[in-house]
Amino acid sequence: MTHPGEEVEDGPTSAREQQRRLVEEYYADLADAGGPRKPVAYMLVGGNLTEIVRSFGYEVVFPEIVALNCAIKHESLPNILHAEAQGYGLDVCGYVKNDLGLQELGGKTPFGRIPPPDLLVCSFSGCYVYIKWWEALAEKYGCPLFVLDVPYMRDERPRSEEIEYVVAQLNEFIALLERTTGRSFDRGELRRMLAHSRKAEEGWVRYLSAGRRRPSPIEAYFEAVFYMFPINVLRGTAAAADFYDTVDAEVTARVRAGEYPVPEEKVRLVVEGVPPYPSYRTFWDFFRRWGAVSVAATYPKVGGLFDQGFLHDPDRPLESIAEYSMAAYVNQSWGLRRRLIASYAKEFEADAVVIHGIKSCRSFTAGQGDLRDWLIHEQGIPTLYLESDHEDPRYFAPAQIKNRMDAFFESLDRRRSTVSLPMVGA
Amino acid sequence: MVSDVLAGADPDASDSPPVLELHGELEEFSRAAPLDVTLRLAREIVTDPTYPTVRAWTRSGRSAVGCFPVYTPQELLHSIGLLPVALHGGGENVEISHADAALGSFLCSISKSTLELALTARLAPFRGFVFPYICDVSRNLEGIFARVLPETPTYMLHLPQNFRSGATVRFLVSEYRRLAERLERAGARPYAPGPLAASIELFNAQRSRIAELAARRRAHPGQISLAESYLLRRLGGLLPREIHVPLLDRVLAELSERPVRSRDAIRVALVGPFCEQPSLDLIDLLEQVGCEVVDDELLPLYGWYGRIDPSGDPLEALARAYVESPVDIGVRAAPSTKGGAILDRVEAANAQGVIFLTAKFCEPALEDIVLYRKALDRERIPYLHLEFEERSTSYEQARLQLETFVESILFD
């Protein structure tokens, strides 16, 4: 049994070990990439075109993921400071500063050297900073830059004219790749990759759905972040597709053995927002102390709302890529985001919502205060808003965050005991 | 709580200046008046966060729609019977009491003050709002407006960022149709090509007058100050264009009679204030210290394109004009390199230096500046970077920096 104040370790699991191995292999392959052997495309997570690019023989780098890996290993600050010395201000996105600082410093990371790009693919899906970031990289490296303009989602499903627009751009992108690589587009190869993607996505959705169980056998925020790597970085490969079989087996075994992320589930949470990667463990501990487990979260959906049915389809390759691109979480209007969070709270039987705002990320964060107001006053869901940064350790104030969390969980606990008393006597 | 704020909203809140009342037909701007009188009134209107021109115009049941910077197809809104009004935040006269909590602290003033105006009912005369996707804050602001003003239609206009695709114009046409449909709830008529063609001609006339005003300033910088020409441009987003165009004709005629003053000044390009606008005091300061602004990003809407030919399909012509525009500012993924773009601008304007005047927390501007600076450093072109916020009232430090910058060029 876990009690507040007690430190808890997340024991290694077979899925976690496999994930670590996949990460190491990926970065080892990257360190060997570049030069004439294998061209490198830089891509963004939201709405990415990884299957198309891989079908033309590119290796793919996701600078956002490199940035978060740097931050979680406490290596982001030197990169950020270097970018600030180049002129990037305090208010610029931490991912951007980590990456541009890293690029200027030669691409060296704790997990290997990141090769420079031969191609820049900017999927403009949900974050305007994507464009500014890729413009800076294009200026530095002088390589081709393709901007995929992805319409903002304002309706529950994409409209036909939006899909037509994105598909037309995908065809133009494919023509660019044919010119650049001298290779012909292999539709069959793309379909094979999309079949791997589909399998991985279905496995990922099964994993996320497990949060509906009571108690939850998964940690849908802190643990899911680790399991996001294959779905975002290795999508389209057999390794990613198979990974979620391992996860599936592990979740089943946990349920059978009665092993849960926290030994005694006391609070079920929906978490909204990007984690504070430089203080990831500390932040997670602040939840575990109270027996709080995330049963659903929005951040694992930044790569796509697979759980809402936006899955790749080998039989409709470009159309399904277009739909997927629009369905990045932060490409959803606030109306859609609000409804999604409320539906998670209801379907996953959450007690509360925790919002983690990011100082330097306007896309995710601008309006989260209004979301809090809506959840509390119009949905009746207790909600806590916290703020720090996803990359910059200077903005994580542990004592202040812990105090606020302790007060919140304490009030939840009190509220539950006062509400439940009459029921006990009924 | 937001709904409590709205219920208790008082448009005559204590931080507002006295409310200015105008004639319902805005006769103050229709009749001939000396330029100085017009400019004094313009200054009052521009700094009044209760939108006196909109209140006057909508008193008799006409509809106005607020358009967040930097670009909305005003021609389209006009053609469906709406007055498109340029929103420019609350300026120095709006205290932020409620918007911080809804939006977040690390955000630009214009987003917060615009929301504050909504939460305090000072945008009540508007029947709808358009927020173009120029940055994540503008985009998200639409979502908040949709919640806090549920009876007022809003639209997040997806302005395309792929300017090379053969499909972009067609998509933008569909966006414009969708916008027009959404605004029918704001009192708009259904879209029709005939009225749009006529509206395009009206806005062609407005842009040509504003271009003429800019040309006069370039030829005779002492004849009209930057702040004066800026005020006349700002009026263009607040008045019915049928009133603004003849007003500019009268101004241009009167300007010819004004004496041309000459003075020592350096020629500078002003880069950065394409969305949130600096205060009039700060704009005045630029000239006071000896800067002659020969190229600027203030209110880029009026320089987005030249004359549009509305013959043929006017909606497609309007969309094409947006897509093919040469405007290269921080919120448009123009297919150019930033370094090359700034050097071209400096050369075209024959500027001696660049002043970066950026709104605090404006990420698109802040990221571009790094690339601009590198290019300027390579060519040894001097520059100065200043940040501003709407509520800034003291510019002593900015004055000192500007004076030093000017002197360093003048005595170089």
CB of A137 within 8 Å of a chain B CB? The answer is no
Please give the single-letter amino acid code of residue A352: A
Q: From A142, which residue of chain B is nearest by alpha-carbon distance?
A: B337
Among A86, A362, A369, beta carbon nearest to B136: A362
Q: Is residue A414 part of a domain?
A: yes
A66 domain residue, yes or no: yes
Query: Would an 8 Å CB–CB cutoff place B16 in contact with chain A?
Result: no
Residue A1 falls inside a structural domain: no
Per-residue b or e along A296-311, where b marks 16 or more CB atoms closer than 10 Å to that residue's CB:
bbbbbbbbbbbbbebb
- Inter-chain contact B139–A128, Cβ cutoff 8 Å? yes
| A359/B333 CB distance under 8 A | no
Using CA coordinates, name the residue in chain A closest to B1: A373
User: B241-255 and B226-236 are packed helices; what angle lies between their axes, rounded to 10 degrees?
Assistant: 160
Provide mean pLDDT across the span A184-202: 98
Q: B181 vs chain A: nearest CA distance in angstroms?
A: 14
Segment A132-140 mean pLDDT: 95
pLDDT at A15: 93
- The whole-number pLDDT of residue B16 equals 54
Domains recognised in chain B with CATH numbers: 2-195 (3.40.50.11890)
Tell me if A2 is assigned to some domain. Answer: no
- pLDDT of A426 reads 29
- Residue A385, SS3? strand
Residue-wise pLDDT tens digits, B159-206: 999 999 999 999 999 999 999 999 999 999 999 999 999 999 999 999
Tell me the pLDDT band of A172, cut-offs 50, 70 and 90: very high
B156: chain A residues, CB-CB within 8 Å: 152, 154, 333
How high does pLDDT run on average in chain B? 93
d(CA A239, CA A243) in angstroms, rounded, equals 6
Q: Using alpha carbons, list the distances in angstroms from residue B159 to A75, B72, B133, B156, B165.
A: 37, 9, 6, 9, 14
pLDDT in tens, B338-393: 999 999 999 999 999 999 999 999 999 999 999 999 999 999 999 999 999 998 87
Q: What percent of chain A has pLDDT over 70?
A: 94
Query: Scanning the structure block, which residue is given the tokens 């910058």?
Result: B405
- CA atoms in the 13 A half-sphere facing the CB of A396: 20
pLDDT reading at A423 higher than 70:
no
Contact yes or no for B195/B202 (Cβ under 8 A): no
Query: What are A151's two structure tokens?
Result: 């319409």
pLDDT tens-place string over residues A209-268: 999 999 999 999 999 999 999 999 999 999 999 999 999 999 999 999 999 999 899 999
Q: Is A70 on the interface with B (CB under 8 A)?
A: no
Minimal C-alpha gap between A271 and chain B (Å): 18
Residue A11 belongs to a domain: no
Instruction: Note whether residue A6 is domain-resident.
Output: no
Does some domain include residue A10? no
Using a CB-CB distance cutoff of 8 angstroms, which residues of chain A are in contact with residue B331? 128
**Structural domain span for residue A83:** 17-425
Is A132 within 8 Å of B364 when comparing Cβ atoms?
Answer: yes
Number of Cβ pairs closer than 8 Å across A and B? 164
Average pLDDT over residues A280-294: 97
Number of domains, chain A:
1
Query: A196 lies in a domain?
Result: yes
Please answer yes or no on whether A362 and B165 come within 8 Å at the CB atom: no
Reported ipTM: the value is: 0.94
Parallel, antiparallel, or unpaired: how do β-strands A112-113 and A108-109 relate?
antiparallel
**pLDDT score of A7 more than 50:** no
Minimal Cβ distance to A152: which of B156, B165, B167:
B156
- Lookup result for tokens 């909590």: B101
**pLDDT per residue over B272-310, tens digit each?**
999 999 999 999 999 999 999 999 999 999 999 999 999
**The three-state (H, E, C) secondary structure of B281-343, written as one string:** HHHHHHHHCCEEEEEECCCHHHHCCCCCCCCCCHHHHHHHHHHCCCCCCCCCCCCCCHHHHHH
**Is pLDDT of B93 > 90?**
no
Structure tokens at A167: 């598909």
Which residue of B6, B96, B106, B173 to mutate against A (max A Cβ within 10 Å)?
A: B106
Interface test with A, best of B147, B148, B169 (most A CBs within 10 A): B147
Give residue for tokens 């072109």. B381
CA distance A322 to chain B (A): 14
Average pLDDT of chain A, as a whole number: 93
pLDDT in tens, A333-387: 999 999 999 999 999 999 999 999 999 999 999 999 999 999 999 999 999 999 9
Q: Is the dihedral of CA A294, A296, A297, A303 positive or negative?
A: positive
Question: Is residue B146 within 8 angstroms of chain A, CB to CB?
Answer: yes
Count CB atoms within 10 A of the CB of residue A377. 14
